[in-house]
Structure 1
């Protein structure tokens, strides 16, 4: 698992830069934060989401690939109304 798993997640996200995403993040104290935005950029250890300005007080947020690996963050790419792809790590 380890580094290869993180790189697999990054490569999956690289294919969806510029697309609309929905994310659910663990907000602590049993809270789940749901946000919508656009996958703006991927970097070696984090990815950046530009949030929908109408519903969020922050303009951008960043998460690590480890957040997806540990399921702290659930990320779904919304290609259109009927086509959604959940980004996750599946151990092979």
Structure 2
């Protein structure tokens, strides 16, 4: 795994339980934007819980690197507790 991807993974792992706003490119001038909570990080993907959709979505770290997905960290005071591994 490249150093950039590893750095992204480590940063997200340190923010498990934090609220984020994500923006995802959906093709020709279309984007999807939602708020969620970082739930888990895995070797190649990370997951967010999106309350508005009552579902979990997953993204690859490379999606962040290529700007297909953008994350904005929201107030860290609103941390959601997460289960320990």
Q: Which has the higher strand share?
A: 1
Alignment RMSD, CA only?
Answer: 1.6
Gaps of 5+ in 1: 82-92
Taking structure 1 as the reference length, the TM-score comes to 0.77
Indicate conservation of the 8 Å contact 2:18/2:76, yes or no. no
RCO comparison, higher one (Cα < 8 Å, 6+): 2
For 1:61, the equivalent position in structure 2 comes to: 57
Q: Secondary structure at the match of 2:75?
A: strand
Number of matched residues?
A: 77
Residue 12 of structure 1 corresponds to 11
2:26 aligned residue:
27
- 1:2-24 alpha-carbon deviations (Å, 9 max, x no partner): 61110000011011000111000
Verify the 8 A CA contact 2:23 2:69 in the aligned structure 1: yes
| Contiguous gaps of at least 5 residues in structure 2 | 78-85
TM-score w.r.t. structure 2 length? 0.83
